[in-house]
């Protein structure tokens, strides 16, 4: 996957492959102002080792309460991005041979974290309109041996863009409590909503402390901040702290303080308004290009936010086998099979629309269409 995206990152290639926010919407001036304020106010303290930065934890706790989650700063644990949070919870709950319940399509980093600790994946069907199949999830929880962990991406799912409907969110929390299976809610994309109804996290329905929430500043602020967080039961935090110390000790004081300054200065909301407006426009351009170029041979998801659209071809077209031809036409996507936890999905692809201009989106889809038409024309 990393090799594929590296290949697709060449400047001459129109890339739909990565998961990057719009580069021209990153808040350069605001981050610079926040950084200068931190260095002026805090001096050398911002460059030292230090514990998790209290004001950042307080902001996160308030942000979570605003989303309907009963949360205090004592339940917030700062991580170096969402991937480190995945690694920590996988270490915490999984031993070799254990079972983890994952969606049948999921972000590659989720599967990597789970399998990296010798656990086996129990796939759970993902509905491309309403999110994870909760009946299948219950069956996975009831099957022996019981899963030691489940990981769900509820909002603007990576790779499909689908969002878990509210009724299912409540039921996931209920199933976690009933079957005593910890559910990790991996939620880096929810701030990227640009249309539709705002939904509460799964964690907002959690009355049994069975859900661990995982958030990230990578998509809502800037990827290079490398900051994320967990909201976890207090009794788990000493163990989480020890596991984190074995990885890299702590997060950067400079970055934590800069993020806190950015957030408390009120820069986040206008930044998200600009970012989401850009994403909305680019998604609509992608939809129109897909309708014009591929509407007779494919269908796709209709996300109301996030970064990705999932395309499914109506025939047995193998998007992995077509990738070389696409690169030859200087366009890139991610073949859908790379996100599968149980095989299949060879006739699918993930398209990122946030990191290409409207003009390049149109041209890129035309190039993909040319590759597809050539393949379909072969006997």
Domains and CATH numbers, the chain: 2-26+270-377 (3.90.1150.10), 52-249 (3.40.640.10)
pLDDT band with cut points at 50, 70 and 90 for residue 373: very high
Mean pLDDT of 70-88: 96
Is the predicted pLDDT of residue 7 greater than 80, yes or no? no
Asked whether 121 and 112 are in contact (CB, 8 A), the reply is no
pLDDT 10s digits, 117-134 = 999 999 999 999 999 999
User: Distances in Å between the alpha carbon of 378 and those of 2, 125, 186, 317?
Assistant: 31, 33, 42, 11
pLDDT band with cut points at 50, 70 and 90 for residue 1: low
Token duo for residue 22:
């719009």
pLDDT 10s digits, 186-242 = 999 999 999 999 999 999 999 999 999 999 999 999 999 999 999 999 999 999 999
Pairing mode of beta strands 14-15, 120-124: unpaired
For 222-244, letters b (16+ CB in 10 Å) and e give: beebbbbbbbbeeebbeebeebb
Asked whether 179 and 210 are in contact (CB, 8 A), the reply is no
pLDDT of residue 369: 98
* φ and ψ of 226, to 5 deg: 50, 50
pLDDT 10s digits, 286-302 = 999 999 999 999 999 99
pLDDT band with cut points at 50, 70 and 90 for residue 41: very high
Mean pLDDT of 311-315: 96
Q: How many CB atoms lie within 10 A of CB 4?
A: 18
CA torsion angle for 363, 364, 366, 367 (degrees, to 10)? 120
Token duo for residue 96:
């070799």
Residue 366's H or E segment, with its range, is helix 358-377
Provide the sign of the torsion angle of the four alpha carbons 47, 52, 57, 60, taken in this order: positive
Is the predicted pLDDT of residue 8 greater than 70, yes or no? no
Helix/strand/coil (H/E/C) assignment for every residue in 15-27? ECCCCCCCHHHCC
pLDDT 10s digits, 96-117 = 999 999 999 999 999 999 999 9
Residue 324's H or E segment, with its range, is helix 323-328
pLDDT of residue 166: 97
Q: Look-up: residue for tokens 């859908």?
A: 336
Is the predicted pLDDT of residue 61 greater than 80, yes or no? yes
> How much is the pTM?
0.95
pLDDT of residue 205: 98
Mean pLDDT of 313-324: 95
Structure letter (DSSP) for residue 350: E
Helix/strand/coil (H/E/C) assignment for every residue in 228-266? EEEECCHHHHHHHHHHHHHHCCCCCHHHHHHHHHHHHCC
pLDDT of residue 143: 98
Burial of 160 (0-12, 13-18, 19+ CB in 10 A): buried
Rounded to whole angstroms, the Cα distance separating 238 from 321 reads 48
pLDDT of residue 11: 80
């Amino acid at each position: 996957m990393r090799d594929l995206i590296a290949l697709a990152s060449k400047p001459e290639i129109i890339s739909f492959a990565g998961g990057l926010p719009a580069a021209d919407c990153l808040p350069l001036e605001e981050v610079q102002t926040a950084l200068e304020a931190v260095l002026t106010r805090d001096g050398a303290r911002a460059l030292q080792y230090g514990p998790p930065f209290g004001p950042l934890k307080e902001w996160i706790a308030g942000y979570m309460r605003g989303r309907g989650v009963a949360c205090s700063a004592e339940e917030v644990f700062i991580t170096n991005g969402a991937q480190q949070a995945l690694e920590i919870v996988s270490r915490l709950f999984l031993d070799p041979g254990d079972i983890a319940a994952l969606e049948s399509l999921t972000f590659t980093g989720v599967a990597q974290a789970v399998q990296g600790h010798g656990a086996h994946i129990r796939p759970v069907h993902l509905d491309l309109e309403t999110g994870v199949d909760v009946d299948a999830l219950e069956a996975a929880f009831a099957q022996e041996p019981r899963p030691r962990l489940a990981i769900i991406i509820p909002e603007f799912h990576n790779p499909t863009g689908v969002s878990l409907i509210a009724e299912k969110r409540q039921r996931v929390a209920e199933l976690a409590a009933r079957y005593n299976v910890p559910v990790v809610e991996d939620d880096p994309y929810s701030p990227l909503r640009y249309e539709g109804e705002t939904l509460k996290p799964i964690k907002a329905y959690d009355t049994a402390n069975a859900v661990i929430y995982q958030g990230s500043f990578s998509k809502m602020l800037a990827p290079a901040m490398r900051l994320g967080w967990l909201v976890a039961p207090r009794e788990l935090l000493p163990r989480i702290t020890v596991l984190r110390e074995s990885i890299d000790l702590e997060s950067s004081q400079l970055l934590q303080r800069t993020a806190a300054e950015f957030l408390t200065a009120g820069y986040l909301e206008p930044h998200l308004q600009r970012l989401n407006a850009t994403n909305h426009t680019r998604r609509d351009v992608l939809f129109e290009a897909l309708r014009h170029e591929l509407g007779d041979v494919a269908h796709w998801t209709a996300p109301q936010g996030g970064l990705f659209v999932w395309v499914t071809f109506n025939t047995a077209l193998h998007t992995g086998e077509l990738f070389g031809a696409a690169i030859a036409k200087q366009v890139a996507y991610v073949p859908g099979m790379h996100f599968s936890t149980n095989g299949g999905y060879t006739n699918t692809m993930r398209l990122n629309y946030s990191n290409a201009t409207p003009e390049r989106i149109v041209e890129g889809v035309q190039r993909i269409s040319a590759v597809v038409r050539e393949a379909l024309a072969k006997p």
